[in-house]
Amino acid sequence: MKKILLIDDDAELRQLLASYLGRHGFDTLLLPDTRQLDAFLDRYEPQLLILDLMLPGEDGLAACRRLRARGEMRPIIMLTARDDPVDRVIGLEMGADDYLGKPFDPRELVARIEAVLRRGSRTPATPEPAGQTERFGNWTFDRAKRQLLRDGQVTTLTSGEFALLNALMAHPNRPMKRERLLELTRGESSEAFDRAIDVQIHRLRRLIENDPARPRYLQTVWGVGYVFVPDSPTDPGP
Could you state, in order of their start, the residue ranges of all structural domains in the chain? Answer: 2-121, 133-228
The answer to whether the predicted template modeling score (pTM) of the entire model surpasses 0.85 is: no
> Would you state the CATH architecture of domain 133-228?
Orthogonal Bundle (1.10)
Q: Averaging pLDDT over each range in 29-38, 101-110, 147-156, which range is the top one?
A: 29-38
> Mapped to the 3 state alphabet, what secondary structure does the chain carry?
CEEEEEECCCHHHHHHHHHHHHHCCEEEEEECCCCCHHHHHHHHCCCEEEEECCCCCCCHHHHHHHHHHCCCCCCEEEEECCCCHHHHHHHHHCCCCEEEECCCCHHHHHHHHHHHHHHHHCCCCCCCCCCCEEEECCEEEECCCCEEEECCEEECCCHHHHHHHHHHHCCCCCCEEHHHHHHHHHCCCCCCCHHHHHHHHHHHHHHHCCCCCCCCCEEEECCCEEEECCCCCCCCCC
* Residue of higher predicted confidence among 159 and 39: 39
Question: What band does 121 get if pLDDT is binned at 50, 70 and 90?
Answer: low
* Residue of higher predicted confidence among 175 and 160: 175
Q: From residue 101, how far is each of 43, 98, 104, 192 by CA, in Å?
A: 29, 10, 7, 12
- Whole-angstrom Cα Rg for the chain: 18
Average pLDDT over residues 95-111: 88
For residue 106, the model assigns a pLDDT of 93
The dotted CATH code for 2-121 is 3.40.50.2300
Determine the Cα–Cα distance for residues 235 and 238; give it in Å rounded to an integer: 9
Beta bridge partners of 100: 79
Determine the Cα–Cα distance for residues 14 and 118; give it in Å rounded to an integer: 24
* Residue of higher predicted confidence among 84 and 26: 26
Length of the chain: 238
Q: What percent of the chain has pLDDT over 90?
A: 49
Neighbouring CB atoms inside 10 A of 122's CB total: 11
> pLDDT tens digits, residue range 125-159?
434 334 588 999 999 998 888 789 998 888 878 87
Question: What band does 41 get if pLDDT is binned at 50, 70 and 90?
Answer: very high
* Residue of higher predicted confidence among 22 and 197: 22
Least confident segment among 31-40, 92-101, 132-141: 92-101
Least confident segment among 26-30, 32-36, 193-197: 193-197
Determine the Cα–Cα distance for residues 102 and 109; give it in Å rounded to an integer: 10
Residue 127 near residue 133, CB atoms below 8 Å: no
Average pLDDT over residues 214-232: 92
pLDDT at 218 over 90: yes
